[in-house]
Amino acid sequence: MSEFTVDVEREDDGRWIGEVTDLPGVLTYGTTREEAVAKAKALAFRVLADRLDHGEDIPELHGVFAVNE
C-alpha cells in the first residue's frame, strides 16, 4: 500500500466524517469537509508514527488523498 484514502461523508446533523479505513481507528469529525480531512490526515500520521515507535512495520507512504463517498 503506498497511498491512504480519506473517505469523507457528511452526517445528517451537518458534521463531516473523515476516515482512513486502511488504518483502524482513524476516524475524525469536523465542522467542514476540509477540517475533517485535515484531522484524519494528522491522525493517520500519528498512528503511523506510533507504529514506528513500537517497532511495527508500516507501508511505504506516497500520499494521503481525500475522496467523497
Alpha-carbon torsion (39, 59, 8, 21), positive or negative: negative
Q: What SS3 state is found at 38?
A: helix
pLDDT value of residue 27: 96
Reply yes or no on whether the pLDDT at 2 is more than 90: no
Q: What is the pTM of this model?
A: 0.78
Q: Which residues pair with 4 in a beta bridge?
A: 64
Q: What is the pLDDT of residues 18-69, one digit of tens each?
A: 999 888 889 999 999 999 999 999 999 899 889 888 888 776 656 666 766 5
Reply yes or no on whether the pLDDT at 4 is more than 60: yes
Confidence bin at 1 (pLDDT 50/70/90): very low
CA separation, residue 10 to residues 15, 36, 44, 46, 60 (Å): 6, 10, 20, 24, 30
How far is C-alpha 37 from the geometric centre of its chain's CA atoms? 7
Closest CA to 15 of 42, 45, 43, 39: 39
